[in-house]
Amino acid sequence: MNKSLHRLAIGLLPGVAVLLSLAATAEPGDITFVRQAAGMDDVPPAVFPHSVHRMAYKCQACHDTPFKMKAGENLVTMDEIQEGQWCGACHDGKTAFISNLSTCARCHKE
């Protein structure tokens, strides 16, 4: 291997490691979020279904940016979703259904 190829290969190693670790991680099922914001306890916590999303996306569409691969470690709030972060990056009414009064219960399930 010449020098620049060698450097390239080393540069690729972290990416390969991430891909291998993603490939080795089994896809979990539905995940109930741990609530971060205080108040409004009458709204049940959001549930994220992996299966439906995996029909359209690879793990890398969400992990580790923006979502860390650990339940409870993402400090997600409804305000940020409404500003287009987290779920709101796709749930914007174009890529996927938007948050409004008729869709709350699709994510917030008892």
Binding positions for ligand HEC, rule: CB under 6 A: 22, 25, 27-28, 31, 33, 35-37, 40, 43, 45-46, 48-50, 52-54, 56-57, 59, 61-63, 67, 69-74, 76-79, 81, 86-87, 89-91, 95-97, 99-101, 103-104, 106-108
Exposure letters 63-88 (e unless 16+ CB within 10 A, then b): beeebeeeeeeeebebebbbeeebbb
- Which of 6, 84 has the CB closer to ligand HEC? 84
Phi, psi of 95 (to 5 degrees): -70, -40
76 neighbors 86 (Cβ within 8 angstroms): yes
Give min distance, CB of 6 to ligand HEC, in A. 31
